[in-house]
Copies of this chain bind each other. A is one copy, B any other.
């Protein structure tokens, strides 16, 4: 007997038939003797429609009212799923954020969960009832409805699993697990049985959008075992399918490299011949931070002739704002040239095994060199090596690295 939080996203509850299928899936877990709580998103399309209405009425609408409107999507799903569960003999009850309550801060539209009172739900689960909880929402100290921001339902599910002391948080989605890389690029990509929180975070932050980053951070901090699995595969779900996201300690056979991720969402900026004196980097990145531009990779070459080149990457969407900020700064700090290039891709190899294995980066550089792919920028973390390359080589690079690290399926 385990206590499980099951989370179903928008496509999994897109219509009444899908909601009935979810109810059957929940019933199977109940019949297997587990205590179950369910977290649901809005039926797919609903949130976009509601957001569109708010924007049409006022581009700069009040986030408090936006939250009131948008949170109705999840509320509808909870009631419908509770009805579908009751119809097949499973005792169930819907719960909104304010009813549990799921307390958040006051940051409407992108609130963070502060606390969840789980005692009443635990009591009901122990009595055989299935709580069906609205994801993506909570209640602010002011008593108003908040939403967690797009994709927040994963975070709701993990936070609820922590509050309920659940053995596992099962995230049902439209993929059947976490792969060594994007199977659309590498048909030989393998599904991972287990992956560590840290690896999952690195993969998520570089574009493998299976789980929302915040939900993985929360799972790591609260030690919630998360399983990613498909809501579209039929058959029994005995806990062995999908991918488990867990503490590194739970992974006995650590792969040196678990996955290859890529992102085409970034742009490269080069400041040529920047004066090489203290405080220059602080002015540049301080100015960008003030305009809410997040900088990712940063490289500064060794100085020559009293000047240096400063290269960094940032989100493509932020590029116009960054150009404006740097243009204003040009006369102040004095640099020769501002070059930008949106046609770049960031390729990353991720794996906790790197910590204890040398030569991981070198394997990467060699594999790319063998394909004559030029590396523009390099950055590394404890469990990740990322390189920036021309966007046109993305698929070629991912395939070459997947093979080089021995990740191809037989």
Contact = CB atoms under 8 A, between A and B. Distances in A.
Interface of A: 16, 19-20, 50, 53-54, 56-58, 61-62, 64-69, 71-72, 75-76, 78-80, 82-84, 86-87, 93-94, 96, 98-99, 143-144
Contact of A79 (B66, B86, B93): B66
B76 A62 contact: no
Most interface-central of A54, A68, A86 (chain B CB within 10 A):
A68
Contact of A83 (B66, B79, B80): B66
A84 B57 contact: yes
Chain A contact residues: helix, strand, loop or mixed: helix
Contacts of A19: 57
A83 B98 contact: no
Nearest to A82: B65
Contacts of A62: 82-83, 86
A138 to B, nearest CB: 14
Contacts of A58: 83-84, 86-87
A68 B57 contact: no
Among A78, A82, A86, chain B packs the most CB atoms within 10 A around the CB of: A82
Contact of A69 (B56, B80, B87, B144): B80
A356 to B, nearest CB: 52
B83 A76 contact: no
Nearest to A59: B87
A68 B80 CA distance: 9
